[in-house]
Amino acid sequence: MENQTIILVISAFLGFASGIIMHRSDFCIAGMFRDLFLFRSSPLLRSLVLLIAFSMLLFEIARLVGILNYSLPSSLYGLPSLTNLLGGILFGIGMVLAGGCVVGTLYKLGAGNLPAACAFLGLLVGSALYAEFHPHWKQLTLATRLGDAATLPQLLQLPPTLLICVLLLGTGGLLYRWQVKGLLLRPNRVKGYLQPRTAALLLAVIGLVSFSLLGMPLGITTSYTKIGAFFEQRLIPEHVASLDYFQGHGFEFFLPISNQTLHAGAGPFWDGLALIQFPLTLGIVVGSALSAISMGKFSCRFDIPRCQLFSALFGGIIMGLGARMTPACNVWHLLGGLPILSLQSLLFTLGLLPGAWIGSLVLTCYVLKQ
Amino acid sequence: MVKQPGELIEIDVCGQICPSSLLTALREVNNHKELLRSGQLQLYILTDNHDSTNRICDAIGNMGYHVEVKDKNSYYEIVIAKIAAQKRDSRS
C-alpha cells in the first residue's frame, strides 16, 4: 500500500478535528433521536438535517466535477435488505441506552466520561460477538433482499442530480424557515461553545475530504470489530481462525490518494480499513480530550450509579451488534449514505426511529426511573 | 449526593449518562415547587455536560423559574430559583 503515512496523517487529522468539533458543540446524534421521543422536542436534530443536506450538496457537486468517484452498489453501500432495518432498530435501542452513538461515545470518552468508557467496551464486545453468527445473518440478508436498486435514484429510475436538486429545494426551504425563526441557533451560555449549525457545516466538509481523498465517508465501527478481534486473537486464536467473518477480506474499496483498489476485512490484521479507521478513532478521542482540557472540563467521575454503567455497557453491546448487522454505523449511514441516497442508509435511518423510541422507554423505565 | 444546608439543595449529576441531568432537574423542581415558587429554596444542579446547560435552562426557564449558569471550572452550576428572587452570592 502506497502513501501509508499520508493516509494515516489525513485520517488522524480528520478524527482530531471531528473530536474537537463534536465536543465543543456537544453534537450527540443519539441524544437528537432520543429527545425526539423523550421530550417531544429535539433542537439539535435540526443541525443533523443541515449536516445531511449540506453533505448531499457537497457530495453531488464533487461527483459532478469529478472529485468524487463512486458507483453503487459496492462494498461501501450495497443492495438493501430487511436486515438494514432490523440492524437500525437494534442500533437505535443501543445508542440510547449507551448514552451516545459510536462517535458520541468516543468524544465523551475523550472528556473523561465513565459511562462512555463502558459503552466503548460494550461496542468492542458486541462487534466481536457478531462474528459468531455472521454466516446465518448473511443468509438472512440475502433472503430478505429488496430488489436490485442500491440508491433512490436507481429505484425511481431518475437522474441522481435531478432528485437531489428536488430534495435540496425542499430541505433548503425548511432550513431557511428554521434559520429565519432562529431555530438553528442554540443559546450560548457556555464559554467555548460551538454552535451545532457551525459544527454541522464543518463535519460535512470533513466528510467530503474523507470520501474524496480516502475513498470512504467517515466510519469507525469496523475498527471496533478489529480491536475486538485482536483481543480474541490473543485469548482464543484457534476460535478466531475458525470464524469466516474474521478471515474474510470482502470489503473492496478504491483509495484515491494512492490510486489503488484495496481489499480489507474485519479480522485481526492490518489492512486499508485499519489504516483509515484506527487513526480516525484515536483522533476523535484525542481531539475531544484536548478540547475538554482546554475548556477546563476534563474530569473523571467514578461515583456513577451502577445501573447507568450497566446500561452503557449493555447499550454498547447492542449497538455493536446492530452496527455489524446493518451493516455499518450511524455516522456511515447518516453522514455518508443518506447524502448519496443509499437505500441501505434510508432503511437504517427508518429503523433508528423505533429503536430510539424503545431505547428511551427502557431508559426512563429502568435506568433513570424517577 | 444530596446535601441540604438550609434553603439550598445541591444535586451533583456530573459524569452521569444523558439525559440524567435534565430528568433530575425536572424531578427536583417538581418535588420542591412550592418552596421554589415561594423563594424559600434554591436548587443547584452540578453538571459537566454543556448541552445540559441549554436543555435545563430552556425547560426550567419555560416553567417560570429564574435559571442561571455559572462556570465552576470542572463543572457547571445551574441555579434554579424564584424569578426576581435575590441571587445568592457565590459560595466559591
SS (H, E, C) chain A: CCCHHHHHHHHHHHHHHHHHHHHHHCCCHHHHHHHHHHCCCCCCHHHHHHHHHHHHHHHHHHHHCCCCCCCCCCCCCCCCEHHHHHHHHHHHHHHHHHCCCHHHHHHHHHCCCHHHHHHHHHHHHHHHHHCCCHHHHHHHHHHCECCCCCEHHHHHCCCHHHHHHHHHHHHHHHHHHHHHCCCCCCCCCCCCCCCHHHHHHHHHHHHHHHHHHHCCCCCCHHHHHHHHHHHHHHHCHHHHHHCHHHHCCCEEEEEHHHCEEEEECCCCCCCHHHHHHHHHHHHHHHHHHHHHHHHCCCCCCCCCCHHHHHHHHHHHHHHHHHHHHCCCCHHHHHHHHHHHCEHHHHHHHHHHHHHHHHHHHHHHHHHCCC
Q: Which among A31, A190, A370 has the least Cβ separation from residue B19? A: A31
Q: Which among B18, B53, B58 has the least Cβ separation from residue A99? A: B18
Across the A/B interface, how many CB contacts are shorter than 8 Å?
A: 80
User: Strand, helix or coil at B84?
Assistant: coil
Name the interface residues of B facing A (CB cutoff 8 Å).
1, 14-20, 22-23, 27, 48-51, 53-54, 57-59, 69, 71, 73-76
**B59 assigned to some structural domain:** yes
Position B6 confidence tier, pLDDT thresholds 50, 70, 90: low
Host domain of residue B43 = 2-82
Residue A12 neighbours by CB under 8 Å, 6+ apart? A279, A280, A282, A283
Q: Which residues of A touch B20 (CB under 8 A)?
A: 308, 368
Q: Find out whether A253 and A75 touch, Cβ atoms under 8 Å.
A: yes
**B interface mutation test: which of A23, A45, A190 has the most B CBs within 10 A?**
A190
pLDDT over 70, % of chain B? 85
pLDDT single digits (tens) B75-92: 999 999 998 744 554 443
pLDDT single digits (tens) A139-198: 999 999 999 999 999 999 999 999 999 999 999 999 999 999 999 999 888 889 999 999
Q: What is the pLDDT of residue A30?
A: 95
Cα distances (angstroms) measured from residue A321 to each of A87, A104, A225: 8, 17, 10
Work out the mean pLDDT of chain A and round it to a whole number: 95
Q: pTM score, two decimals? A: 0.94
Q: What is the pLDDT of residue B84?
A: 73
Q: How far away is chain B from the Cα of A291, in angstroms, using its nearest Cα?
A: 13
Q: Which among A26, A34, A305 has the least Cβ separation from residue B50? A: A26
pLDDT single digits (tens) A90-123: 999 999 999 999 999 999 999 999 999 999 999 9
Q: What is the pLDDT of residue A166?
A: 98
Radius of gyration of chain B (CA): 12
Position B49 confidence tier, pLDDT thresholds 50, 70, 90: confident
Q: Find out whether A68 and A59 touch, Cβ atoms under 8 Å.
A: yes
Distance CA A310, CA A298 (A): 23
**CA nearest to A305 within chain B:** B16
pLDDT single digits (tens) A291-318: 999 998 898 999 999 999 999 999 999 9
Report the CATH number at residue B11: 3.30.110.40
The C-alpha cell that represents A234 in the structure block: 490473543
Q: Which residue, among A367, A243, A219, A262, has the nearest Cα to A307 in the 3D structure?
A: A367
Position B1 confidence tier, pLDDT thresholds 50, 70, 90: very low
Chain-centroid distance of CA B55 in Å reads: 12
Q: Which residues of B touch A303 (CB under 8 A)?
A: 1, 15
**B54 assigned to some structural domain:** yes
Q: Which among B18, B27, B49 has the least Cβ separation from residue A370? A: B27
Mean pLDDT of the region A270-289: 95
User: Strand, helix or coil at B6?
Assistant: coil
Mean pLDDT of the region A263-291: 95
The C-alpha cell that represents A39 in the structure block: 421530550
**B76 assigned to some structural domain:** yes
pLDDT over 90, % of chain A? 92
**CA nearest to B21 within chain A:** A368
Name the interface residues of A facing B (CB cutoff 8 Å).
26, 28, 30-31, 34-35, 38-39, 43-44, 99-100, 111-115, 186-187, 189-191, 193, 296-305, 308, 311-312, 364, 367-368, 370
* Inter-chain residue contact B20 with A308, CB threshold 8 Å: yes
**B73 assigned to some structural domain:** yes
Q: What is the pLDDT of residue A250?
A: 87
**B20 assigned to some structural domain:** yes
pLDDT single digits (tens) A67-90: 999 999 999 999 999 999 999 999
Q: What is the pLDDT of residue A370?
A: 57
Q: What are phi and psi of A104, to 5 degrees?
A: -55, -40
Q: How far away is chain B from the Cα of A238, in angstroms, using its nearest Cα?
A: 38
Q: How far away is chain B from the Cα of A220, in angstroms, using its nearest Cα?
A: 22
**B92 assigned to some structural domain:** no
Q: How many domains does chain B have?
A: 1
Q: What is the pLDDT of residue B90?
A: 44
Chain-centroid distance of CA A207 in Å reads: 11
Q: Which among B17, B20, B54 has the least Cβ separation from residue A187? A: B54
The C-alpha cell that represents B26 in the structure block: 425536572
The C-alpha cell that represents A132 in the structure block: 459468531
pLDDT single digits (tens) A42-62: 999 999 999 999 999 999 999
Q: Which residue, among A137, A76, A48, has the nearest Cα to A264 in the 3D structure?
A: A76
Q: Which among B17, B54, B58 has the least Cβ separation from residue A99? A: B17
DSSP characters over B11-68: EE-TTPPTTHHHHHHHHHHHHTHHHHHTTS-EEEEEES-HHHHHHHHHHHHHTTEEEE
**B89 assigned to some structural domain:** no
**B17 assigned to some structural domain:** yes
Q: How far away is chain B from the Cα of A191, in angstroms, using its nearest Cα?
A: 8
Residue A133 neighbours by CB under 8 Å, 6+ apart? none
Mean pLDDT of the region A234-253: 94
Distance CA A199, CA A212 (A): 20
Q: What is the pLDDT of residue A3?
A: 83
